[in-house]
Chain A
Amino acid sequence: GEDVEQSLFLSVREGDSSVINCTYTDSSSTYLYWYKQEPGAGLQLLTYIFSNMDMKQDQRLTVLLNKKDKHLSLRIADTQTGDSAIYFCAETSSGYSTLTFGKGTMLLVSP
């Protein structure tokens, strides 16, 4: 079955860039997503990338996709304390609409 892996924890200082990495196993993945979950809250869709793209930039967020290595990353520029949250990588495969999530990366931003 599909598998999505992420590192569990990342700590950065305010103003630095954060890079959260994700690997997946399903070669038929169509869309790959990044969701953000703040404590006690629901999941907020941050951005997504279609599998035929290499990069997508949206303000402070840059998503890089290496389809050959099945590696996805999320770069947050000028990280702020408000970016502290759990970040989930997720994927869907062609023909299926349900998301397969990674276990989430907890990002801690210190002042």
Chain B
Amino acid sequence: DTAVSQTPKYLVTQMGNDKSIKCEQNLGHDTMYWYKQDSKKFLKIMFSYNNKELIINETVPNRFSPKSPDKAHLNLHINSLELGDSAVYFCASSQDPIFGTYEQYFGPGTRLTVT
């Protein structure tokens, strides 16, 4: 059973298009995240959701809009894609940090290429 899954694994699209990446976790976790890994492998947090509510938004352009229909899903919608959006996007999940543990489990990543 896959703990954190993402679809699609690869996404190639043209500048200006709108696309979505989906993420699902079956770990019963309360908190989900999106991270971006650039071409130099640098990983940076984009968003964090706890029980479907946005708790962290790290200076991400408002073309990126996360949506959490329930606490097992956190989707990422990107409008007006730009070349600089090309990266690998990782979804992750963890228990609520109030339990004192911050182990985050990552999905396999979605490689987005904007041409």
Contacts and interface: CB of A to CB of B under 8 A. Distances in A.
Interface of A: 30-31, 33, 35, 37, 41-45, 48, 86, 88, 92, 95-101, 103-104
B108 A41 contact: yes
Contacts, number: 59
- For the residues of A in contact with B, the DSSP-based class is strand
A97 B48 CA distance: 8
Contacts of A35: 106
Interface size class of B (residues with CB under 8 A): 20 to 34
Given A95-B97, A97-B97, A98-B33, 9 more contacts: A30-B102, A33-B103, A37-B41, A42-B109, A44-B106, A86-B41, A97-B102, A99-B35, A101-B43
Interface of B: 31, 33, 35, 40-45, 48, 50, 56, 58, 90, 92, 94, 97, 101-109
